[in-house]
Amino acid sequence: MSAKRATPNASPSKRSALPLLGGAELGAVLDGLLRARPELRPEAELIARGQLADTSREAVAEELEWKLRSLSSAELHGRAGRQRWGYVEPTEAAWELLSESVEPYHREIERLQALRITTAAIETALGVVDGLYRCRGRHDSELLLSWAPDFPVEEACSVVDGLVKAGIAVPPDRLDDAAPEWADALSRALRASA
């Protein structure tokens, strides 16, 4: 009795390997497919842009709120106090940690702007503003946010500033909807950046 060996040309009834691949492996498959079949590039581009454009303000807001509210004051250990280069105030360390948590969203907005997927850039930015707004007034000493009470509003103004500087018109009513109590601060950011 001879054992059958698996071959790359397996019959269609065999289980597909594609769902079992990781992100990098799927990327390599796509690269190989597009090299072998360049006529598929426009369709792949359309699908990629559709994926990027599929942005939910609510999902961004929820994710960012969870991220920021999950940072505890314990995160300051090792970042605040005496360091080799000098003393770091806890408030300064808290701002740095919170900024690091928001940075991926700034990069995503910039990526969408660069690709001219403006609606998704605006939705992502509004989601960030909304998520920051949900984190305002957190005075629980266990939360890192308690060390930087002005961080949410100042970071929201920074997001708006970035959009305006990129030439993207931000609808003021949508900003008001995302952060009603910050309407004045966000309006000033809109005017100052224009």
CA distance 158 to 152: 10
Concatenated DSSP letters for 63-113?
HHHHHHHT-BGGGGTTTSEEETTEEE-HHHHHHHHHHHHHHHHHHHHHHHH
pLDDT digits (tens, 9 = 90+) for 67-123: 999 887 666 666 655 555 555 576 777 888 899 999 999 999 999 999 999 999 999
CA distance 136 to 78: 25
Buried b (16+ CB within 10 A) or exposed e, 168-180: bebeeeebeebbe
pLDDT band at 9 (very low <50, low <70, confident <90, very high): low
129 found inside a domain:
yes
Closest CA to 69 of 137, 135, 149: 135
φ/ψ of 143, rounded to 5, equals -90, 140
43 found inside a domain:
no
Given a cut of 60, is residue 12 above it in pLDDT?
no
pLDDT digits (tens, 9 = 90+) for 119-176: 999 999 999 999 999 998 766 667 788 888 899 999 999 999 999 888 888 888 898 8
Confidence at residue 157, expressed as pLDDT on a 0 to 100 scale? 94
66 found inside a domain:
yes
**Structural domain range at position 62:** 56-193
177 found inside a domain:
yes
- The tokens for 5 are 């060996």
136 found inside a domain:
yes
Q: For the chain, what is the domain count? A: 1
Q: Which of 3-7, 9-13, 99-103, 181-185 has the lowest mean pLDDT?
A: 3-7
82 found inside a domain:
yes
Amino acid at 47: I
Q: List, as own/partner pairs, every contact residues 92-97 make where C-beta atoms lie below 8 angstroms and the sequence separation is at least 24, other chains included.
A: 93/147, 94/144, 94/145, 94/147, 94/148, 94/151, 95/148, 95/151, 97/71, 97/144
Given a cut of 60, is residue 180 above it in pLDDT?
yes
Q: Is the pTM for the entire model greater than 0.85? A: no
pLDDT digits (tens, 9 = 90+) for 35-79: 998 888 888 888 887 777 788 999 999 999 999 998 876 666 666
Average pLDDT over residues 20-43: 86
- The tokens for 109 are 């907005």
CA distance 128 to 120: 12
Residues whose CB is less than 8 angstroms from the CB of residue 177 and which lie 6 or more positions away in sequence, other chains included:
none
5 found inside a domain:
no
Dihedral sign for Cα 108, 109, 110, 116, please: positive
119 found inside a domain:
yes
